[in-house]
Copies of this chain bind each other. A is one copy, B any other.
Amino acid sequence: MEKEHDFIPERTKWKRQLFRIIFKSDTRLGKAFDLALLVLILLSTSIVMMESVSVFDAKLHLLFVVLEIIITIFFTVEYVLRIITIRNKRSYIFSFFGIIDFLAILPFYLSLFIPITKYFLILRMLRMLRVFRIFNLLDFMNDGYFIVRALKNSSRKIYIFLLFLVIFCVIVGSLMFMVEGHREGFESIPQSIYWAVVTVTTVGYGDVSPVTPLGKFLSILLMLSGYSIIAVPTGIVTAEMRNKRQNLEKVCPRCGNEDIDDDARYCKKCGEKIV
């Protein structure tokens, strides 16, 4: 997922070696390093989670703190080494993984001043996205890209859909506020909008639900709407995924058929030989 950061021969030997260990996975040491990182990420996120559970924290607070310090020191050293060994430092620092690597250590230092920010250490989990590289899972990576690309390509349509949906929920929420007349859960328009979103997305917590017959009738209309318009994002993404083909260049020279499998030797529509 990170661009190739080639090194030039002038670099000192240890930098080149370290670069290979830290950034690549094609050596034994490189693989071991990546694996160690993965273990530390999992350990670190587990610790953050367990620290939040008062039962565990009461017993093991000191252990958690010590482990967190050690892991953070390790991650910090690693981050510094990444910057040192790479040639195009700027491009790394502002790359997707560069930012994540930074966010994985920042909360610890911040938490020395603002304790609550400690929990942002959970962002370390994002580093797990590198996992596919470690195990050389090329197919998985391709599939990951496939999903990300399909979401990216349909994002504009989905944003507009969400804009429509939000306007719809605001209006329905206000209407419901007038109908349910300040009852519990409908004390204000924002509250009613919250209810409208809970309903239209078919989440339906039930912490707020209509009481009056008219309110229930409106709810029914809203639920049926939600049940129907869930088709919109689904349709958008599905259409997008169908559009994406593995091999977009292949096309039959005679009939223009574009649906040509990778293993095809003849066009399945007109029988023309595919070169």
- Which residues of A are interface residues toward B (Cβ below 8 A)? 45, 48-49, 52-54, 116, 119-120, 122-123, 125-126, 128-129, 139-140, 143-144, 146-147, 150-151, 156-167, 170-171, 174, 177-178, 187-191, 193-194, 197-207, 209, 213, 216, 219-220, 223-224, 226-242, 252, 254-261, 263-273
Q: State the CA gap A236–B194 with chains docked (Å).
A: 29
Q: Is the CB of B178 within 8 A of A119?
A: yes
Closest to A169 in B: B220
Q: B residues within 8 A CB of A146?
A: 157
Q: Is the CB of B242 within 8 A of A54?
A: no
Q: Is the CB of B232 within 8 A of A230?
A: no
Q: B residues within 8 A CB of A228?
A: 158, 161-162, 233
Please judge, given known A-B contacts A119-B174, A178-B116, whether A238 and B227 are in contact too, CB under 8 Å: no
Q: B residues within 8 A CB of A216?
A: 190-191, 194
Please judge, given known A-B contacts A167-B125, A177-B119, whether A234 and B238 are in contact too, CB under 8 Å: yes
Closest to A261 in B: B268
Q: How far is the CB of A174 from chain B (nearest CB, A)?
A: 4
Q: State the CA gap A255–B258 with chains docked (Å).
A: 12
Q: Is the CB of A205 within 8 A of B205?
A: yes
Q: B residues within 8 A CB of A265?
A: 256, 268-271
Q: B residues within 8 A CB of A48?
A: 174, 189
Q: How far is the CB of A152 from chain B (nearest CB, A)?
A: 12
Q: Is the CB of A167 within 8 A of B209?
A: no
Q: State the CA gap A219–B195 with chains docked (Å).
A: 11
Q: Is the CB of A224 within 8 A of B165?
A: yes
Q: Is the CB of A201 within 8 A of B188?
A: no
Please judge, given known A-B contacts A170-B125, A269-B264, whether A177 and B52 are in contact too, CB under 8 Å: yes
